[in-house]
């Protein structure tokens, strides 16, 4: 699912660095601690230290997960390019296998029962701009969630998988509505990025980003703009972008925030 190619140059915090941006977020959205949670007021100090330790543990492991996902995307992209070079040299077998197992199609999913492609296709990309936009976008958006109290590595992994699968299902549903073209294929981390970005926009709506590093705007406006763009072009059969996949990932992000994260207090 080709995505946020513009975000390779678009999503940049307007502060001098990502670190300063996240420090600002932590200072303006510090979690509240209920003394009764730890049993008595005498244990509030210990409770705060335990909470900080738990939060730092989650943050560290969340970032490790993000680095691992970025590395996985890059590794699979490089392998895909390697198989393509092999195919050009007269050895098409690995490339054919890569296309069959790492891209999503109605024929492969329904008739050939390659159900795993709804997940594996998330980590394949068509070109350098495609993967650069997705990885950079995911890193910045995911880093916001990684530093959010209450989001564990397991929860973050669930957000990624749920958003990606929702994007795959959304893309397949639209293609079935159009008559089920067997020649169209989808790939890319876009649905997951849209889900992560949507949740980040709900949690930190006023975080500033800059379009092309020049035009500042709040994160909520950027994500709303992408949702409007995808919705406007979702029925354009000439578009090479999987807009339905983006909308599916974004819909999962909205549902996850409303059902699981809305109760978080910052």
Say which CATH number the domain at 132 has: 1.20.1540.10
Strand, helix or coil at 216? strand
Between CA 137 and CA 11 the distance in angstroms is 7
- In a domain? residue 218: yes
Answer whether residue 41 is part of any domain: yes
How would residue 30 be classed by pLDDT, with cut points 50, 70 and 90?
very low
Euclidean distance between CA atoms 132 and 55, whole angstroms? 30
Residues 93, 64: Cα–Cα separation, whole Å: 34
Q: Which domain covers residue 150, as residue numbers?
A: 7-261
3-state SS, residue 16: coil
Domain tally for the chain?
Answer: 1
Comparing 11-25, 41-55, 105-119, which segment has the lowest mean pLDDT? 11-25
Specify the 3-state DSSP secondary structure of 23: helix
Strand partners, 210: 216
Q: What SS3 class is residue 126?
A: coil
Question: What percentage of the chain exceeds 70 in pLDDT?
Answer: 76
CB atoms within 10 A of CB 168: 27
Rounded distance between C-alpha atoms, residue 195 and residue 210, angstroms:
20
Count CB neighbours of 244 within 10 A: 27
Assess if residue 43 is contained within a domain: yes
The per-residue pLDDT for range 170-214, each reduced to its tens digit, is 999 988 887 766 678 999 999 999 999 999 999 999 998 877 667
| CB burial of residue 29 (10 Å; 0-12, 13-18, 19+) | middle
Cβ proximity of 193 and 130 under 8 Å: no
The whole-number pLDDT of residue 175 equals 87
Phi, psi of 185 (to 5 degrees): -130, 150
**pLDDT the model gives residue 239:** 84
Average pLDDT over residues 96-104: 96
**Does residue 55 sit within a domain?**
yes
Residue 221 to residues 28, 140, 209, Cα–Cα distance (Å): 20, 16, 10
228 neighbors 171 (Cβ within 8 angstroms): no
Quick check: 2 pLDDT over 80? no
Task: Please check whether residue 2 lies inside any domain of the structure.
Answer: no
């Amino acid at each position: 699912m080709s995505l946020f190619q513009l975000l390779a140059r678009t999503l940049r915090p307007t502060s001098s660095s990502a670190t300063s941006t996240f420090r600002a977020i932590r200072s303006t959205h510090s979690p509240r601690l209920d003394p009764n949670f730890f049993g008595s007021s005498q244990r509030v100090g210990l409770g705060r230290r335990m909470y900080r330790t738990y939060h730092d543990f989650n943050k560290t492991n969340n970032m490790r997960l993000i680095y691992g996902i970025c590395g996985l995307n890059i590794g699979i992209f490089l392998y895909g390019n390697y198989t393509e070079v092999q195919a050009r040299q007269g050895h098409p077998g690995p490339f054919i296998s890569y296309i069959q197992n790492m891209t999503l199609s109605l024929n492969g999913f329904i008739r050939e029962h390659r159900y795993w492609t709804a997940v594996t296709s998330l980590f394949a990309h068509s070109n350098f701009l495609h993967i650069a936009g997705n990885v950079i976008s995911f890193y910045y958006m995911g880093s916001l969630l990684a530093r959010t109290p209450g989001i564990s590595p397991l929860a973050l992994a669930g957000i990624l998988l749920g958003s990606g699968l929702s994007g795959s299902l959304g893309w397949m549903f639209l293609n079935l509505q159009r008559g089920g073209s067997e020649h169209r294929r989808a790939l890319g981390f876009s649905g997951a990025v849209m889900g992560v970005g949507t949740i980040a926009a709900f949690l930190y709506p006023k975080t500033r980003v800059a379009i092309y590093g020049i035009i500042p705007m709040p994160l909520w406006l950027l994500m709303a703009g992408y949702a409007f763009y995808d919705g406007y072009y979702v029925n354009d059969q000439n578009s090479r972008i999987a807009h339905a996949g983006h909308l599916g990932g974004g819909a999962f992000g909205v549902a996850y925030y409303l059902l699981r994260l809305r109760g978080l207090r910052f």
